């Protein structure tokens, strides 16, 4: 294992613990918006997609990268917007 992988594994495991800590006590009401919000976060793969679409010029890899950008953006934009729509319903009575 290279040092990069070792650090990556530490980060991965610690982040999972952070996730568990943060989410364990979420009330059931928020389960759906939490899920769709978390879903949007998994679109972070867009960062990789952008890098792949850029490196090299006009190759198949670029096209796949472009496709990955599109699918990740569907996930990101759709996920955040739909979550906001839902949460708006939950909170509108408070104002």
Using CB under 8 A as the criterion, what x/- string covers residues 49-78 for binding other proteins? xxxxxxxxxxxxxxxxxxxxxxxxxxxxxx
Collapsed DSSP state (helix, strand, coil) of residue 83: helix
Kindly write down the DSSP assignment for every residue of 30-80, as one continuous string. GHHHHHHHHHHHGGGGHHHHHHHHHSSSSSHHHHHHHHHHHHHHIIIIIHH
29 near other proteins, rule: CB under 8 A: yes
Using CB under 8 A as the criterion, what x/- string covers residues 9-28 for binding other proteins? --xxx-xxxxxx-xxxxxxx
89 near other proteins, rule: CB under 8 A: yes
- Applying CB under 8 A, the site for other proteins has a residue count of 87
94 near other proteins, rule: CB under 8 A: yes
1 near other proteins, rule: CB under 8 A: yes
Residues shown for the chain: 95
Q: Measured from the CB of residue 63, what is the shortest distance to other proteins in angstroms?
A: 6
Spatial contact of 80 and 37, defined as CB atoms under 8 Å apart: yes
């Amino acid at each position: 294992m290279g040092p990069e992988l070792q650090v990556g594994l530490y980060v991965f495991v610690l982040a999972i613990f952070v996730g568990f800590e943060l989410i364990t006590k979420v009330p059931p009401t928020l389960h759906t918006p939490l899920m769709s919000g978390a879903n949007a976060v998994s679109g972070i793969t867009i960062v990789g997609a952008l890098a792949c679409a850029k490196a090299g010029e006009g190759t198949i890899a670029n096209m796949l990268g472009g496709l990955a950008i599109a699918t990740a953006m569907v996930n990101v934009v759709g996920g955040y917007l739909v979550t906001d729509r839902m949460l708006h319903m939950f909170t509108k009575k408070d104002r």
